[in-house]
Chain A
Amino acid sequence: MKQTEQTSKPEYKSTCSSDCKKLVEIALNIGDVMLKHGAETYRVEDTMRRILSCSPCCQTGSQGPAGDTVSEAGYRDAYVTYTGIMVTLELPGGETITKVKRIENGGANYNKLYLANNLSRKLCAGTISLEEAEGEIRRIRESRIYPEWVVGVSTVLIAAMFAVLFGGGLGDCLAAGLNGVFIIVARQLVGQKGRLQLPAFIETMLISLGMAYLTRLLLSGVELAGWPGSIDQGTVITSSIMPLVPGVAITNAIRDTLQGDYMSGGSRAMEAFVTAAGIAVGIGIGLILFRIMLE
């Protein structure tokens, strides 16, 4: 009996440590997907901590295969900021795995966020193995939910519908929709996914600049042509900037700050402020340019 215990113990330890390495990798990858695509920082931290704690082999006082209690479950923690993830896990042998990953913001993608969140639940409920989880993460990363044209149509719809929401008439709605089309075209040209790959601030500024200019141009054109309805400049511009407004950054900034995550809250508030400033400066310059052109 003693013999079997002695032989099984090292074997158990070795599979455990390879499992733990996988676990850290999975926790890091799930955290990466969630943070990249619009999760709050504290949610990412919490999810990663849960994943690290839910493996049966690395847990405090868990039963080894030979019935022995694995003593000294290792120290584990996850530290997440808006731009990076650090995760550490102490193996039963005393060795420690620590990984650091720099996260680039990939733009909100709530489908990926939802799937990654779900995967962590499944992992902790034990309904999915580590190997399956690795494959699942790969699938989540590559998943595409809407084709480009649907996103384009939605952008136009946002601008047009917000014009109605803000109390505009048919004219405002159409003008804002036209601006929505301009946003799509401009994004293809100057956006980070487009040709010039300008920084986010300049992108937002240039798009809102063009939009404000276009709106003034349209309004003068309509006035000259004698359109019977009225188009309000304020309503049109306000609703056209809605697709650019940093809604995700604002919400997450609030929730992170309230959670006591001041560093991430501050970074996100900064992001929201920079985008808002880009929009305001762009509109200002656009209107000035039009006025100068008239004189």
Chain B
Amino acid sequence: MKIVIQTAAAFLAITAFSVILYTSKKHVPFCGLAGALGWFTYLILEPLGLGVVLRNFYAALAVAFLSHLFARMLKAPVTIFLATGILPMVPGAGMYQIAYQMLIGDYEQTSFYLIQTIQIAGVIALAVLVTDSFFRLFWKRNKPKQPT
């Protein structure tokens, strides 16, 4: 139940975010889908006992993969879906924790969250890299004339 509610929230949140980035109406639901799938992946991996960083990696991987598919389906730049779909993974909580822990003077926690935030940013970059390379290597069918 928790997973259903949070995935629905992710869909609405990312749909709303694509609107403030002025995404074209026909792309808006696809942005929401990418974001919802990413957060769904993050949530279903929780019981498996994976760490936060690794779960972020798989979630970003799912979002990036779906974004590339949508971009090729709709002949639109992949950034449109990627930048919005990846938002739930962007370490906003990390930024808050860094500021808050520093404020209350807990430097151990500060450096913990700092390192975690850097790691999460790193694995998101890695996921994007992996998917980009994958599609460049294996997407031969209907080869696009322009980068997507």
Interface residues, chain A, CB within 8 Å of chain B? 37-40, 42-43, 46-47, 50, 108-115, 117-118, 120-121, 124, 145-146, 150-151, 153-155, 157-158, 161-162, 164-167, 234, 237-239, 241-243, 245, 247-248, 250-252, 254-255, 257-258, 276, 279-281, 283-284, 287-288
Contacts and interface: CB of A to CB of B under 8 A. Distances in A.
Interface of B: 2, 5-6, 9-10, 12-13, 16-25, 27, 39, 75-77, 79-80, 82-84, 86-88, 90, 92-93, 95-100, 102-103, 121, 124-125, 128-129, 132, 145-147
Given A145-B22, A158-B16, A234-B97, A284 B102 contact: yes
Given A155-B20, A254-B128, A117 B77 contact: yes
A114 B30 CA distance: 14
Of listed B12, B25, B79, B82, residue having the most chain A CB within 10 A:
B79
Contacts of B12: 157, 161
17 contacts: A38-B79, A38-B83, A110-B18, A110-B27, A114-B76, A145-B22, A150-B19, A151-B20, A154-B20, A248-B79, A251-B82, A251-B128, A254-B124, A255-B79, A280-B95, A283-B99, A283-B100
A109 B83 CA distance: 12
Nearest to A145: B22
Contacts of B5: 164
Contacts of A162: 9, 13, 88
A114 B99 contact: no
A144 B102 CA distance: 43
Interface of B is mostly: helix
Contact of B22 (A109, A283, A284): A109
A120 B77 CA distance: 12
A117 B144 CA distance: 13
Contacts of A165: 6, 9-10, 13, 39, 88
Nearest to A247: B87
A121 B24 CA distance: 17
B27 A250 contact: no
A251 B96 contact: no
A251 B86 contact: yes
A117 B83 contact: no
B20 A243 contact: yes
A145 B25 contact: yes
